[in-house]
Amino acid sequence: MARFAGIPLRVITDTNALVFRSGGSIAERESGRQAVILSLRALVVNADQADASIRWIDSSRTIFHVLHFAQKNGRWNYVSGTSQSGDR
């Protein structure tokens, strides 16, 4: 995330606004800035527990996160998480 420090971040909801170049780099079409893709793959809620599966893609790797939450006193709280990384 250090490479994004000091730059106003944008949320882009249309992948047509991105350029996927050879070598795996991902850039914002309008400005040419590097970009990452973050996607919610699944959200499973079972009573007072929930798991969220998230995928993060940048120019060099894909990271899969599974985040575990528990509800207590009407609030959802992060409990733990696991990550798995793969080179692109």
Question: Cα separations (Å) of 31 from 2, 7, 26, 28, 34?
Answer: 19, 12, 12, 6, 9
| Domains contained in the chain, CATH given | 1-35 (no CATH), 37-88 (3.10.450.630)
- Which of 6, 61, 8 has the alpha carbon at shortest distance from 36? 61
pLDDT range class, residue 2, cuts 50, 70, 90: low
Contact 81, 53 (CB under 8 A): no
Contact 81, 65 (CB under 8 A): yes
pLDDT at 88: 54
How far is residue 10 CA from its own chain's centroid? 14
pLDDT digits (tens, 9 = 90+) for 20-72: 887 778 888 888 888 888 889 999 999 999 999 999 888 778 899 999 999 99
